[in-house]
Amino acid sequence: MLPFARVTVVGLGLIGSSIARAVRASMPTVRLTGYDADAEVRETARRIDLADDIADSAGAAVIDADLVILCVPVGAMGTAAASFAEELPAEAIVSDVGSCKASVAAALTEALPGATIVPAHPVAGTEQSGPEAGFATLFRHRWCILTPAADTDPLATERVAEFWRRLGADVETMDAEHHDRVLAITSHLPHLIAYTIVGTASDLEEVTKGEVIKYSAGGFRDFTRIAASDPTMWRDVFLTNREAVLEMLQRFSEDLSALQRAIRWGKGDELFDLFTRTRAVRRSIVEQGQDDAAADFGRSHE
Amino acid sequence: MLPFARVTVVGLGLIGSSIARAVRASMPTVRLTGYDADAEVRETARRIDLADDIADSAGAAVIDADLVILCVPVGAMGTAAASFAEELPAEAIVSDVGSCKASVAAALTEALPGATIVPAHPVAGTEQSGPEAGFATLFRHRWCILTPAADTDPLATERVAEFWRRLGADVETMDAEHHDRVLAITSHLPHLIAYTIVGTASDLEEVTKGEVIKYSAGGFRDFTRIAASDPTMWRDVFLTNREAVLEMLQRFSEDLSALQRAIRWGKGDELFDLFTRTRAVRRSIVEQGQDDAAADFGRSHE
């Protein structure tokens, strides 16, 4: 028994197009509709046959749906939801994939009064963007976090949970505020730091950009991957999850100052102790299947 | 015509054991000798047949060599060199693989007065350590930087350059001080930041370590790889290249403060501009073959 029969994906970038592909692969009898505000993306989606139907308006896309998933930047959620509010069937469940949950839930609730909303966040992605970057296995063995409000129908939550399990994800539920703090440290701050150091390296005068690129295998290149993520998506994340990001950033800066001081005063033991501790974190991530065990991310060395 | 006929590797960790394997693969007629100060490592090296001979003392290891490569943490270079100074043949060339060049050159010159020294730094590695972690293709298409002193015999430098080219590396020459500044930004600062954020995440109270690990695929896990690198090696790097690291760290902190301010005051355009600029850096690194083009480092998604 499928959790939904008619699924509409609004926003056909990396995540939306991956959901479409994963639905096709795991629930082939689902009637799948797609929509994107960008006509060029709709054109591409039709050409690569992403869904049974690519609608030309958000309203037409949702008119028959029992699940509508918003896959647009978090700053655009409210507008996107408003664009189909009138055509949304009363019994449809609305979900999203945004990286910030408290503000998105508020925006959706405001745009869709009375609708059943089950916010979700699949913790998965790559640094690439657009409808052609997606793939069906993106969510496998990754976590999808649901953040239903206290008064959300548990059956609606369970149907969305089952949908994500069918796409290969493991599902966890927590409140939106806690989600936003967890993701501030596991995702938002890492992106912010990566963007910063790539910017810092680009702006040096005495070390050329050519040298930075040439010798990037010493560690720098690892940071450039997430610093190549979609600029609109990430601008919105930082503006939306502002408080939690600023708090985590404050903690990080304090820790960095402590390390700076240890280097300045030659406190080797402090450095060694931290570096030993951090090694264990990597081990746990690999053990829990959240990263490849292969050295160097399994990069090819041929 | 091989650049060297009798090569000795002192220090059989990831880099030393990779050199041994690469010499075996690319220059099988070279007489290869290994030594490590740790008896357990010597035992492992013998068991996995890393070299023609694993000597039981540094002096015995170098007595017949025409190239001796030191592959020990940068803080241990002077002591390691001193341990074979008396047995070093007059015509032998001494090199190393340290991540800091000015201080290592000084330490080697002091320990080995009159010896021909050609410092080198292959910009390659993984987060794993020890004699069993090495592999023959580690240096392929990676840069190896030589930092000979102004009065070094150019023929000696060229022989070491040819040695690295045979192992698959591209070779570049620069002065030691410039090397130390380039690597401070492309390697040392990235490691410092990665160690810091992994530490920050581990120390949170309201977000558990379990949650950090569980949801690490949002970006955090990328940082844990280099934060799993060898603690002794990296402690020594930060203490040794102190000035350049502290200067780069200062620039990074300023840039991070600017970004913090942009978030606090909702300056979306500033964020968007930086995030667009950093994307181009990734593209250049991939174009120049310094990282895989595949999304997500080519991680498996099965």
The residues near B101 (Cβ < 8 Å, ≥ 6 apart) are B119, B121, B145, B147, B176, B179, B180
Q: Check CB contact under 8 Å for B217 and A99.
A: no
d(CA A244, CA A185): 9
Within 10 A of B159 (CB to CB), how many other CB atoms are there?
Answer: 19
The pLDDT of residue B7: 98
Distance from CA of B149 to the nearest CA of A (A): 20
- Whether A293 contacts chain B with CB within 8 A: no
CA nearest B267: which of A242, A168, A119, A251? A242
Residues 192-251 of A with CB under 8 A from B: 192-204, 206-207, 209, 211-229, 231-232, 234-236, 238-239, 242, 245-246, 248-249, 251
Residue B302 has pLDDT above 80, yes or no: no
Name the percent of chain B lying above pLDDT 70.
100
- Whether A1 contacts chain B with CB within 8 A: no
What confidence tier does A18 reach under pLDDT thresholds 50, 70, 90?
very high
d(CA B102, CA B99): 10
d(CA B9, CA B58): 10
Query: Which residues in chain A have Cβ-Cβ distances shorter than 8 Å to B298?
Result: 297-300
- Whether B164 contacts chain A with CB within 8 A: no
d(CA A264, CA A284): 31
d(CA A214, CA A201): 12
Mean pLDDT of chain A: 97
Q: Which of A126, A195, A219 sits opposite B190 (nearest CB)?
A: A219
The residue-averaged pLDDT of B156-168 equals 98
The pLDDT of residue A128: 95
- Whether B274 contacts chain A with CB within 8 A: yes
Q: Is A54 helix (H, G, I), strand (E, B) or coil?
A: strand
Between CA B127 and CA A110, with CA A14 as vertex, the angle to 5 degrees is 115
Q: Model confidence over B284-298: pLDDT tens digits?
A: 999 999 998 999 998
Secondary structure element (H or E) that encloses residue A117, with its range: strand A116-117
Q: Check CB contact under 8 Å for A202 and B266.
A: no
What confidence tier does A301 reach under pLDDT thresholds 50, 70, 90?
confident
d(CA B159, CA B118): 10
Q: Check CB contact under 8 Å for B220 and A190.
A: yes
The pLDDT of residue B125: 95
Q: Is A8 helix (H, G, I), strand (E, B) or coil?
A: strand
The pLDDT of residue A36: 98
Q: Model confidence over B16-59: pLDDT tens digits?
A: 999 999 999 999 999 999 999 999 999 999 999 999 999 999 99
The residues near B96 (Cβ < 8 Å, ≥ 6 apart) are B69, B70, B71, B77, B104, B108, B119, B120
Q: Check CB contact under 8 Å for B197 and A189.
A: yes
Q: Model confidence over A77-121: pLDDT tens digits?
A: 999 999 999 999 999 999 999 999 999 999 999 999 999 999 999
What's the token pair of residue B59? Answer: 């002096």
The pLDDT of residue A300: 83
Q: Which of A187, A199, A266 sits opposite B274 (nearest CB)?
A: A199
Query: Which residues in chain B have Cβ-Cβ distances shorter than 8 Å to A240?
Result: none
What confidence tier does B206 reach under pLDDT thresholds 50, 70, 90?
confident
Q: Model confidence over A247-267: pLDDT tens digits?
A: 999 999 999 999 999 999 999
What confidence tier does B301 reach under pLDDT thresholds 50, 70, 90?
confident
Residue B250, Cβ density class (10 Å: 0-12 exposed, 13-18 middle, ≥19 buried): exposed
For A76, half-sphere exposure in the C-beta direction (CA atoms, 13 angstrom radius) is: 15
Distance from CA of A190 to the nearest CA of B (A): 6
Q: Is A36 helix (H, G, I), strand (E, B) or coil?
A: coil
Q: Check CB contact under 8 Å for A195 and B278.
A: yes
Domains of chain A, with CATH numbers? 6-174 (3.40.50.720), 178-281 (1.10.3660.10)
The pLDDT of residue B289: 92
What is the predicted ipTM? 0.94
Distance from CA of A201 to the nearest CA of B (A): 6
What confidence tier does A206 reach under pLDDT thresholds 50, 70, 90?
confident
Query: Which residues in chain A have Cβ-Cβ distances shorter than 8 Å to B217?
Result: 123-124, 142-143, 290-291
The pLDDT of residue A302: 75
What confidence tier does A188 reach under pLDDT thresholds 50, 70, 90?
very high
Name the percent of chain A lying above pLDDT 70.
100
Rg (CA), chain A: 21
Query: Which residues in chain B have Cβ-Cβ distances shorter than 8 Å to A296?
Result: 126-127, 225
Name the percent of chain B lying above pLDDT 90.
96
For A225, half-sphere exposure in the C-beta direction (CA atoms, 13 angstrom radius) is: 24
CA-nearest residue to A258 within chain B is B196
State how far the alpha carbon of B232 is from the alpha carbons of A226, A233, A268, B72, in Å.
28, 39, 9, 10
What confidence tier does A215 reach under pLDDT thresholds 50, 70, 90?
very high
The pLDDT of residue B205: 86
- Whether B297 contacts chain A with CB within 8 A: yes
The pLDDT of residue B8: 98
Segment among A137-146, B69-78, B198-207 with least mean pLDDT = B198-207
